[in-house]
Amino acid sequence: MTVSQKWRRALLAGVTIPAVVLVGCSVGDGATVGSESTEDAATGDGVDGGGVDGEGDGGDDENELISELDLDGAPEGFRPTEPGTELDFGDAAYVVTQRPAEEDAANPEPHQFWKVTASGSETLDVDEVPLTEGNDDVEEFVCLTYTLTFLGEDPVEADQDSGAVTAPVLVPADDEGTGANVIQRADPETCGVDEQDLLPSRLADIDEDATYESAVLSYVDKEKTRGISPTGLAFTYDLAETAVAEDGSPADASDSPVIEPIHWN
């Protein structure tokens, strides 16, 4: 069965299945090819995150949610980049992350503050990324690289884990910020990132003001009408404040504001 046949079968069944597995992957159960079309893909210098043009394209509600965040642990002058901001490769964004709280937690998890810069993209020949089930449908692979700098964290309550790193999640995207084809759980080393340059998983291991590297692996399908080819990277805020209804209660998917991604091309 070809990759495209598996995609079509998955769509008909209404489920997502692993299509292809990277050889020698050391993360999780192996890296898999997926055709992403969700807009849940996901932020200037100084510590001002308003974006290159100063304003994002997000709606008033979502921008207000981000601009009114409690930034107790942020460095002086930190201002989060607005949802919907469009950036060029090499531009920095300033973003906030947060681990999901446990159901019985008395307080939300602390915010963490980051500087993120999408570096650029590089293509790899098909034979440079061997796949266990073949790569007949792949025209070329695309490495999308970025850097991360940890800037601080909210004060931590006694019942919270002060050591966990919640790094910004960047995904391949098209020029509108829509999520593109992705090789899930691919090792950044496939894209030339040295293991020693990767972000540590614990805050205690992060060097102050150090810049860490990472990458995501995408691909271009031979059939251009299938999947979404990548042109850049995207980041979407995923915070407790972005998942509440207007009355302050937890919101379901229909009540939550749509948070536009910040994206680089």
Q: What are phi and psi of 135, to 5 degrees?
A: -135, 40
Say what the pLDDT of residue 32 is: 52
Say what the pLDDT of residue 21 is: 40
Per-block average pLDDT, block size 10, for the chain (265 residues)?
36 31 34 46 45 50 78 91 97 94 70 97 93 82 98 77 87 96 91 97 90 97 93 95 55 66 98
Say what the pLDDT of residue 185 is: 81
Say what the pLDDT of residue 119 is: 98
Say what the pLDDT of residue 13 is: 27
Number of Cα atoms under 13 Å in the Cβ half of residue 177: 23
How far apart, in whole angstroms, are the C-alpha atoms of residue 217 and residue 215? 7
Report whether 166 contacts 252 (CB < 8 A): no
